[in-house]
Amino acid sequence: MQRKVIAVKLGLHPDTVARYADAASVNDLLVSKSRASKVDPFKDYLDARWNAGCTDAVRLTEEIRAQGYQGTSRTVRRYLEPIRESGSPACHTTTPPKPRQVTSWMTRHPDQVSEGKKIRLKAILARCPELHALAELVTDFAKILCNRDGGRLTAWLDAVDAADLPELHVFATGLRRDLAAVTNGLTLPWNSGAVEGTVCKLKALKRAMFGRANFDLLRKRVLVSR
């Protein structure tokens, strides 16, 4: 409460007052927090393109804009300027991605992953043979799923068994328990989506009138809602 009163009297933001009050030393007040730049997510891509010989800031800006960049070419030029002056290959230290991010890059459709993330994923897979093998198996299963190519499922399961990936073995074991149904689901164009949707609709109607009426009213509501 006292900090809020001081902030009002001095015309300062409460966070500013808290920053000065919580500082252990003068150094804490002198250290400034660096602001994130719009070009940060695309630095890996810019570095790779620079090392490949593309040094035109305008062209690189157009390329990363196609990937979602919303900044200006001046920001890109400002990032490339120290690299140009050094005369050395572009390279910057990035924060290691979280496991959830890597999983997302591996399981998403390639068209939904930016070029910068693809480059980072490629570098990660090159450093870990087990993760590289997992990525290939995940990609192959996605192709079977999207192309309705259930005939390849048995060969895929054999490849999983041959790989040193215990966690994926558990998944493969679950598929083998009902292999015929899984194969049909990955091959035939029919599914139980309509049935599941109807069941969910019935559950919603039942819960909406839970404890308030009998089966006869539920039946009428179902018939009227069609």
Residue range 133-147, pLDDT digits in tens: 999 999 999 999 999
| C-alpha closest to that of 15 among 3, 2, 28 | 3
Report whether pLDDT(219) > 50.
Answer: yes
Is pLDDT of 90 > 60? yes
Give the position of tokens 């179902």: 222
pLDDT at residue 207 is higher than 80: yes
What is the pLDDT, as a whole number, of residue 14?
Answer: 67
Q: Are residues 76 and 46 in the same domain?
A: yes
SS3 content of the chain, % helix, strand, coil (to 5): 70, 0, 30
Q: How many CA atoms lie within 13 A of 109 on its CB side?
A: 4
Cα 88 to Cα 143: distance, rounded to the nearest angstrom: 41
Within a domain: residue 73? Answer: yes
Query: Within this chain, do residues 6 and 25 fall inside the same structural domain, yes or no?
Result: yes
Q: Number of folded domains in the chain? A: 3
- Indicate left, alpha or beta for 52 from its phi (over 0: left) and psi (-120 to 50: alpha): alpha
pLDDT score for 215 = 82
Answer whether 171's CB lies under 8 Å from 142's CB. Answer: no
Residue with tokens 């194969």: 183
Supply the range of the domain harboring residue 8: 1-33
Decide if 118 contacts 139 (C-beta within 8 A): no
User: What is the spatial distance between Cα 86 and Cα 129, in angstroms, rounded to a whole number?
Assistant: 34
The mean pLDDT of 27-50, rounded to a whole number, is 72
Q: Measured between alpha carbons, how far is 177 from 210 in angstroms, rounded to an integer?
A: 37
Choose the final residue of a domain: 51, 66, 86.
Answer: 86
Is residue 149 one of the residues assigned to a domain? no
pTM of the predicted model as reported, rounded to 2 decimal places: 0.53
Assess if residue 8 is contained within a domain: yes
Residues 27 and 46 grouped into a single domain: no
70: in domain: yes
Distances (CA, A) of 188 to 109, 175, 180: 22, 17, 12
Best CA proximity match to 110, nearest among 148, 145, 143: 143
Q: Residue 31 — very low, low, confident or very high, per pLDDT cuts 50/70/90?
A: very low
Q: Is residue 40 within 8 Å of residue 95, measured between CB atoms? A: no
Cβ pair 42, 64 in contact under 8 A:
yes
How far is 181 from 187, CA to CA, in rounded Å? 10
Does one domain contain both 44 and 82?
Answer: yes
pLDDT digit string (tens) for 131-180?
Answer: 999 999 999 999 999 999 999 999 999 999 999 999 899 999 999 999 99
